A and B are shown apart, each in its own frame.
Chain A
Amino acid sequence: MTLLLATLYQILQMLLVLALAPLLTGWVRLVKARLVGRQGPSVLQPFRDLLRLLRKEVVLARNASWLFRSVPYMMFTAIWLAAGLVPVFTTQLALAPTADLIALIALLGSARFFLALAGMDTGTSFGGIGSSREMMIAALAEPAMLMIVFSVAILVRSTSLAEIADFMMAGAVGLRISLALALIALVMVAIAENARIPIDNPATHLELTMVHEAMVLEYSGRHLALVEAASMLKLLLYMALIACVFAPWGMATAGSGVAAALGGMLVFVAKLAVGGTLLALFETSIAKMRVFRVGEFLGGALLLSLLGAIFLYVSRGV
């Protein structure tokens, strides 16, 4: 019975992240527009964009291979699954024991790996520039991410996200310097991974500044819709991850009933609204940095997270 309920919640969460991801992106765009004094599009605009792209024909380069055509599906699936693994409204998820935080990071790594390959498939210089920069960013972001996982996992004694959320909700942690360091590092990584300002600008197509957009330049039609949707999902995933580890309150747990789960959904939407507003504030108040400064930015994140992990390693007695 519990397994059935967990499976039901799992399916529900899969659909929920799918529905909320474009809304979140729309919300961030709307808040950003208001902050700079524009009216801004409706929150539903990303949905309309995706539908429009789905209905358009696909234009492929003559030498595009099967890999190029299947990567959007692979990438979307990997990120969708990863988003399904992060508890958002309940920690009672069927897939929780299947994959932990480390596997989740590796799943996101798979999505990136294939997208970078797709960027190189058409043989244009834009694809190459995007892939090569993306891999450089990833080379620093991934270890930083893993060190954050180390910090959290040593505190909780588990890398399972459901257990981490349960543990944090129990409130036995209190304020810890290492967790604060991990949070700062995680926000830095999330900004870099989602191609937001100051690392990359999701709204531009200027050669010298592009990272993520350059990789997907050759995509069109339904492929582009999938890639865009995957990016939106990824933004939601990182917000959910930060919420799950550092602010899990309001989530239903294994014992609580269906009402708690529904309440958890409402709380989650509120969390996303707050997170989106903060992101918009941050993006409008800062300028983009040069590509080769990214190494320093993420190196900082890596060092912060490593420091947090070392504090914990040393402070945990035998």
Chain B
Amino acid sequence: MGLVVSAIAFLFAVAIVGTAAKRLPQASTVVYGGTAAACALIALWAALRLAGGGPDAALVLPVGLPWIQAHLRADALSAVFLIVVNLGGITASLFGWGYERAHHDSHGTFQGGSQDGPVLPLYPLFLAGMNMVLIAADAFTFLLSWEFMSLASWLLVLSTHREPDTPKAARLYLLMASFGTACLLLAFGVLATAHGDYSFAAIRAHAPAAGAAALVVVLILLGAGSKAGLVPLHVWLPLAHPAAPSHVSALMSGVMTKVAVYAMIRVLFDLLGEPEWWWGGVTMGFGALTAVMGVLYALMQDDVKRLLAYSTVENIGAIVIALGLALVFKAAHTPVIAALALAAALLHVVNHSLFKSLLFFAAGAMLTATGSRDLNRLGGLIHRMPTTAVLALIGAAAISALPPLNGFVGEWLLFQAILNAPALSEWSLKIEIAVVGAALALATALAGACFVRLYGIAFLGRPRSRAAAEAVEVGRAMRLGMAVPAVLCVVLGVLPTPLIRLFEPALRMLVEAGPFDGRAYQPWFWLAPTSAIGNSYNGLIMLVVIALLSVVLVLGIHRKASDRVRWSIPWGCGFDGPDPAAVTQYTASSFGQPIRRAFGSTVFRARDHVDMPAPGDTRPARLSVTWTDPAWVVVVEPLSRAVGWLAEKANRLQFMTIRRYLTLMFLALVVLLVMVAVTQR
């Protein structure tokens, strides 16, 4: 534990070096190298801690409020998330180092360039904040770390303050983060009411009454949900995540949302004691809504990074569905199935952090190479950036849940858990789970469409702008930063069982069972969880068989077939010119049109307006696509208005006379004393 704390302290020290970036030419190397080293240390410690078992590491630091010390504790659940966060930290540092250098060499005004705002000192602080949230063991330390993490990421978003969209995004982010923290503050307040002790150990010992617990569940879903991006609290996320530099976007989307998931798990599974059956139902409903809406939003985006941020919303939805299922099964006292659902959630947490980081890095690489994030200005990059194209293809296939990659394994486990729903007794839950299963399947299928669109428009076809036509492959550090998660995507897809075994202590801690309990021993390359639905999946054999069949096929075809190849220009619908087909190439908007018409017209009131000039008129034809975000109307505008109104009212406090101030203070003291008198009786 001391190791983790000193690693976090080291991150703070590195941040101080980062402040001297202007004077030290090597500052970025020191910062990114130091951050990567600290992250590697923590991740390794957490992995060994999970594998080795043993008692929880705990530490009490004499800081904080006078009568509360800072309790730190790393149990199995913390260790799982420490691995996720720091793995993301390592790859992001590697990529970020290359990214920073690429943007220093070229003195163009790239988006997300380091010449805008101070990224270096804030980057290690952001990671330190996330690590602190995971090891906090009392409400005060937890909230302090949470705010630290939020503020660091907010400042990182602001580092691109010259962008036209950034200030709006940052303001919205601050608003939503404050709202989320307020909810968490209230939640912990309710949890600690009974005994006035804010340490997690004390909260765990005194489970709150039913009414209080229900309030806490709602507040946690609001508080952690706004950070994770649950619909309808997701509005800030697709604006704020893309605004940061790409490696920070990757951390915010792939990792910080997982810290919010950690908060949900910690409170719902650990601190609140025995769950009630409807908690999981509510959580699942939110998750299903989030998954479907998130991917529909993503399908309508033309900005690569914003699309990826919306896709994060979808994946968080899937994770929250898994959490809800685990809660339902835990409440129904079927711990083995609960462990299956929770394993699916944790596995998806890891998987998503990998492929989402990878895809954000790929977006950063495209941005470095072409200076654009707009899909309609990209295209044909597979020829100009071969390595990035291959790695991004792995990421796109993994996130679309294609076997034998890792995204599919998490989805498969989740569906296995859903298939166990008939064992429940509440029939309303059963119907809900069937519908949630359909929603999840729909979201997965739409995610496939979404990433075909992203990859096809950005990497395939013909360049849609001069910058895309002249793009050059990014440097070695950036490619390596993408290669690490890509390789892990394949490895975890083929061999998921060792990772699930590694996470088993956390599952035992939370639901008192493991997903393989009561089954005969399975070799490490099989995935066959215990459940009423007995079946198995084996990515390794699948991969081997696919490889075998491919070899047979290629050899068979090439023995029979002619291998003559002629290159020519494709048919371009009657347009002539050197490259006729490019004129009629599909764009991001046209690719999304069928799905926009099928799904978006009701949910988003999406409309295509076609302006066709009459024959003989020389005006160009125009197509404009409009759509409105329902969440914006329902959540943001009222909230924004309320905050504005409150700020107006509170403003009067600034201009009072001394007499009034004294009166106010006296009255406040009286009220507080009355409250104490009432509660202490």
Name the distance in Å between A311's Cβ and chain B's nearest Cβ: 9
Is B106 in contact with chain A by the CB < 8 A criterion?
Answer: no
Question: Which residues of B430-449 have CB atoms within 8 Å of chain A's CB atoms?
Answer: 430-431, 433-435, 437-438, 441-442, 444-446, 448-449
Known contacts A58-B565, A59-B568, A222-B562; decide if A159 and B403 are in contact (CB<8 Å). no
Out of A98, A127, A132, A150, which one reaches B418, CB within 8 Å?
A150
Is A291 in contact with chain B by the CB < 8 A criterion?
Answer: yes
Contact A98 B445 (CB under 8 A): no
Is A275 in contact with chain B by the CB < 8 A criterion?
Answer: no
| Residues 148-192 of chain A, each 1 if its beta carbon lies under 8 Å from chain B, else 0 | 001001100111100100000000000000000000000000000
Is A221 in contact with chain B by the CB < 8 A criterion?
Answer: yes
Is A309 in contact with chain B by the CB < 8 A criterion?
Answer: yes
Complex CA distance for A113 and B434, rounded to whole angstroms:
26
The 5 residue pairs across chains A and B that have the minimum distance between CB atoms: A128-B586, A120-B456, A123-B461, A143-B441, A135-B449
Is A140 in contact with chain B by the CB < 8 A criterion?
Answer: yes
Is B397 in contact with chain A by the CB < 8 A criterion?
Answer: yes
Q: Count chain A CB atoms within 10 A of each CB in B433, B557, B573 and give the residue with the most.
A: B557
Complex CA distance for A295 and B599, rounded to whole angstroms:
9
Complex CA distance for A63 and B598, rounded to whole angstroms:
32
Contact A67 B382 (CB under 8 A): yes
Chain A residues near B379 (CB-CB < 8 A): 123
Name the distance in Å between A276's Cβ and chain B's nearest Cβ: 25
Chain B residues near A73 (CB-CB < 8 A): 550, 553-554, 557
Out of A14, A55, A133, A314, which one reaches B431, CB within 8 Å?
A314
Is B419 in contact with chain A by the CB < 8 A criterion?
Answer: yes
Chain B residues near A292 (CB-CB < 8 A): 594, 597-598
Known contacts A65-B460, A147-B441; decide if A125 and B594 are in contact (CB<8 Å). no
Main secondary structure of the interface of B (DSSP, over half): helix
Is A253 in contact with chain B by the CB < 8 A criterion?
Answer: no
Contact B455 A117 (CB under 8 A): yes
Is B498 in contact with chain A by the CB < 8 A criterion?
Answer: no
Name the distance in Å between A179's Cβ and chain B's nearest Cβ: 15
Contact A124 B564 (CB under 8 A): no
Complex CA distance for A203 and B582, rounded to whole angstroms:
27
Is A236 in contact with chain B by the CB < 8 A criterion?
Answer: no
Main secondary structure of the interface of A (DSSP, over half): helix
Is B618 in contact with chain A by the CB < 8 A criterion?
Answer: no
Contact A77 B415 (CB under 8 A): no
Complex CA distance for A159 and B597, rounded to whole angstroms:
34
Name the distance in Å between A72's Cβ and chain B's nearest Cβ: 9
Cβ contacts A to B, 23 pairs, < 8 Å: A61-B581, A62-B567, A63-B383, A65-B383, A81-B545, A97-B536, A98-B537, A102-B415, A110-B402, A122-B461, A124-B581, A125-B581, A125-B584, A128-B456, A128-B591, A132-B595, A143-B438, A146-B437, A157-B532, A159-B419, A225-B557, A292-B598, A312-B422
Contact A57 B437 (CB under 8 A): no
Known contacts A63-B462, A123-B581; decide if A78 and B565 are in contact (CB<8 Å). no
Out of A60, A113, A124, A291, which one reaches B567, CB within 8 Å?
A60
Is B343 in contact with chain A by the CB < 8 A criterion?
Answer: no
Q: Count chain A CB atoms within 10 A of each CB in B441, B581, B593 and give the residue with the most.
A: B441
Chain A residues near B455 (CB-CB < 8 A): 117
Is B535 in contact with chain A by the CB < 8 A criterion?
Answer: yes
Contact A139 B460 (CB under 8 A): no
Name the distance in Å between A167's Cβ and chain B's nearest Cβ: 12
Is A302 in contact with chain B by the CB < 8 A criterion?
Answer: yes
